[in-house]
Amino acid sequence: MKILFIGDIFGNTGKRVLAERLESIVVEKSIDVCVANAENIAGGKGITANLRKKLYKFGVNVITGGNHSLACPDSYNDYASDPNMLRPHNLPPGNIGKGSAIFTLPDGRKLGVINLLGRTFSQEQYDCPFRTGLAAVEELLRSTPCILVDFHAEATSEKRALAHYLDGKASALLGTHTHVQTADEKILLNGTAFITDVGMTGAEDSAIGMKTDIVVKRFLLQTHVRFEPAEGGPMLNAVIIDINDSTGRANAIERIYERITFK
């Protein structure tokens, strides 16, 4: 099974990258399933009902998120009803939606997907991603050996630690959130594919997605200013995971950093 995982889709630029490139890359790379983190697609925070529809139209199969997943109330009905639209699994009980799913391919093969939030450097009190993550993996293993975890976290140490904790249980643990792609992709000893951060799909000429002049102003003046999504230098950040359908072990992980020229 070949899985394309797309790093944090940011704003209109990220949406346009998928609109113009996703279909062709799926064909070129013989992709079976596309999973995309879309918590920043609505102007930097959240996802709307209309943008959800567009992602599926572009070719995304499963949507994951992070700390901004529930920023747009417009999407709450989708979180409640769409089995392939995830928010972090370790949000406190009572939040709308769910954090894990099983996507069934046309040929009957199944991919389990889990979305988790890190706690290091976070001001929020999320449930433990290690305990909730392991429980979620063990639950999905009853249905499929192929499991992908999107770990939306700030600290590199927390991401690497969880990857080793789930090594041999999850097929892949992919870090998201920082919007900066790391060059440390590898297969761990027991067969789990790992990368600290997949990166961002959006404007490369930016401060992690936002207009640089506005971000610089905030650092200089130390006062609140309204951030605006940047548009220059569209790029695609992603990874491709090749998983053994029978064992769930990752055979390979390929990192993608592609600069895009819009038509």
- The pLDDT value recorded for residue 224 is 86
Contacts of 165 (CB under 8 A, 6+ apart): 130, 133, 134
Burial class (CB in 10 A: 0-12, 13-18, 19+), 142: exposed
- The predicted model scores a pTM of 0.96
229 compared with 192, residue with greater pLDDT:
192
Domain 2-259 listed as CATH 3.40.50.300: no
pLDDT at 188 over 90: yes
Give the Å distances, CA to CA, from 57 to 15, 52, 54, 61, 239: 11, 9, 5, 9, 21
What's the rounded Cα separation, in Å, for the pair 1 and 146?
9
pLDDT at 122 over 90: no
What average pLDDT does the chain have? 97
- The pLDDT value recorded for residue 251 is 99
**For range 177-200, the mean pLDDT:** 98
Q: Above pLDDT 70, what percent of the chain?
A: 100
CA atoms within 13 A on the CB side of 56: 12
What's the rounded Cα separation, in Å, for the pair 172 and 41?
24
- The pLDDT value recorded for residue 196 is 99
**For range 160-168, the mean pLDDT:** 99
Name the pLDDT band for 246 (thresholds 50, 70, 90): very high
CB 195 within 8 A of CB 255: yes
Joined together, the tokens standing for residue 140 give: 């999905």
- The pLDDT value recorded for residue 26 is 98
Name the pLDDT band for 226 (thresholds 50, 70, 90): confident
**For range 215-223, the mean pLDDT:** 92
- Active site amino acids: 68
Name the pLDDT band for 162 (thresholds 50, 70, 90): very high
**For range 97-109, the mean pLDDT:** 98
- The pLDDT value recorded for residue 104 is 98
Q: If you ran DSSP here, which 8-state letter would residue 4 be given?
A: E
